[in-house]
With several copies, the nearest count.
Chain A
Amino acid sequence: MQIRVQADPFDYGAECAAFAARAAGPGSGAGAVVTFLGLVRDDGGRLSRMEIEHYPGMTEKALSAIATEAAGRWPLSEVLILHRFGPLAPGDAIMMVGTASRHRAAAFQAADFLMDYLKSRAPFWKKEFAADGAEWVAAKDEDETALGRW
């Protein structure tokens, strides 16, 4: 299990390769690896930049708890949650998750679960900066509702 919270950019391709190598080593039994990559949408050119604030200390705990919960619900040979904070530009990678399991249904469901929980239970807040001003992104009711799926 790997949890990383960082301001620095990450190399998505290199992270995928390293995750698959960890997840699918000899004896892991892994047959399925799923990764999700979240990017800053350019929003039709409206967005000039984004700033992500987080709660150092709690963030790592919350992400570990979410990953541990996923590993308890599905037989995962490996889990990755990597999330950036600080200033970001349109097109930048914000975060990624990785899941690996024997079968694909578990890997898909666990990745989807991680994303749902990460969205509403990890202490990150996005602020968007556009030509017409800056605004904190509002949480969506549907994000909270999504947790009811699990």
Chain B
Amino acid sequence: MIDLLYFAWVRERIGLPRERLETGAATVADLIEELKLREDRYAAAFADLRALRVAVDQELADFDAPLAGVRELAFFPPMTGG
């Protein structure tokens, strides 16, 4: 089981802030492909990966990061703090 968290417009497009998922995906990118096939709202949220960032267990990561042992995955747009 993996916790998926969504922030900002990713959260709004998917329609919820978090969910738990059972997945056999090997990498973040594989999981995204799996989600996109599930429902249109995921396809809309993940349409352009260049507009997205991913954090693996609360650390920024690349889309090819492996999922083995990962507990928490977060998707969000580029950050705009400060």
**A125 near B8: Cβ-Cβ < 8 Å:** yes
Q: Are B9 and A123 in contact (CB under 8 A)?
A: no
**Is A125 within 8 A of B58, CB to CB?**
no
Q: Give A78 to B40 CA distance when docked, in angstroms.
A: 49
Tell whether A119 pairs with B79 under 8 Å between CB atoms, given A55-B74, A57-B58, A58-B58. yes
Question: A122 and B79: CB pair below 8 A?
Answer: yes
Given known contacts A55-B5, A118-B82, A123 and B77 CB-to-CB distance under 8 angstroms: no
Interface string of A49-91 (1 = CB under 8 A from B): 0001111011001000000000000000000000100000000
B12 → A minimal CB distance (Å): 8
Interface residues as binary, B4-33 with A (CB distance below 8 Å gives 1, 0 otherwise): 010111010000000000000000000000
Please encode chain A, from 82 to 119, with 1 for each CB lying within 8 Å of some chain B CB and 0 for all others: 01000000000011000000001000000000010011
Q: How many A-B residue pairs have CB under 8 A?
A: 71
Q: How far is the CB of B37 from chain A (nearest CB, A)?
A: 26
Enumerate chain B residues within 8 angstroms of A123, measured Cβ to Cβ: 7, 55, 74, 76, 79, 81
Q: Is A14 an interface residue (CB 8 A)?
A: no
Q: Mark B43-61, 1 if CB is under 8 A from A, else 0.
A: 0000000000001001110
Q: State whether B5 touches A124 (Cβ < 8 A).
A: no
**B8, A53: Cβ atoms closer than 8 Å:** yes
B74 touches A136 (CB 8 A): no
Closest to A122 in B: B81
A contact residues around B60 at 8 Å (CB): 121
